[in-house]
Amino acid sequence: MRTLRNRSKKTADFRKASSTVCSALTKKLRARLRKDKVSEKQITMIFVLRAALAFLYDATKTFPGASVGMMGLRRDEQTAKPIWYYENIPAVSKKSTIVIFDPMLATGGSGEETLKNLAKRGANMRAVYFVCVIAAPEGISKIAQYMPRENIIAGAIDKGLDAKKFIVPGLGDFGDRYFGTTL
């Protein structure tokens, strides 16, 4: 986590540290799902583009029989509200166990939109898990209105949000740092 927070680290270092953290969080998820007696055949993994692609390798290696979906949301920098730009997910039902991967849970806006979308499709909100690298208490509170708080798996819970709705202390824009598009 120290490497992820160090904003002077190069993209390769950030990716390597991301892989370590994503692997650990995926193992924690696997243990939790086993404890909850969830069959891999029931699992649908949803990756919130583009930053959640950091989880893709470890998640599909850990759950090779799970179905995979993608939801593209980006943050409007003026309003901090999510904007949909892509969606391709398998059919879900009340019997599905859904795991949402999104490295940053700040305001909870993207998580909330993803959860609302899944609820409209018939998902059982009690069978949803959310995996993130860093969360702010505000984001946790928001998505816990839709799903069980205990199903949120976070690598770290930071102090909160700043005036621009960024996680403090945070680590910067995860996607930009992971993909090397930071200016």
Give the pLDDT confidence of 73-116 residue by residue, as tens digits: 887 778 767 888 999 999 998 999 999 999 999 999 999 999 99
> Would you call 172 exposed, middle or buried from its count of C-beta atoms within 10 A (0-12, 13-18, 19+)?
middle
The residue among 116, 113, 110, 98 whose CA lies nearest residue 44 is 98
- Residue 61's alpha-carbon distances to 12, 56, 74, in angstroms, are 21, 8, 27
pLDDT at 99: 98
Active site residues: 75, 79, 173, 176
Sign, Cα dihedral of 110, 116, 121, 125: positive
pLDDT category of residue 172 using cuts at 50, 70 and 90 = confident
Hey, what are 124's tokens?
A: 């059982």
pLDDT at 164: 87
pLDDT at 135: 96
Reduced to 3 states (helix: H, G, I; strand: E, B; else coil), residue 151 is: helix
Q: Pairing state of beta strands 43-49 and 67-75? A: parallel
Q: Identify each DSSP E strand in 19-140 by its residue range.
A: 43-49, 67-75, 82-88, 97-101, 104-105, 128-135
* Rounded distance between C-alpha atoms, residue 107 and residue 92, angstroms: 26
pLDDT (tens digit per residue) in 20-76 = 999 999 999 999 999 999 988 899 999 999 899 999 999 999 999 999 999 998 877
* Rounded distance between C-alpha atoms, residue 136 and residue 170, angstroms: 9
pLDDT (tens digit per residue) in 122-148 = 999 999 999 999 999 999 999 999 999
pLDDT exceeds cutoff 70 at 182: no
pLDDT exceeds cutoff 90 at 15: yes
Computed over every residue of the chain, the mean pLDDT equals 93
* Rounded distance between C-alpha atoms, residue 21 and residue 43, angstroms: 21
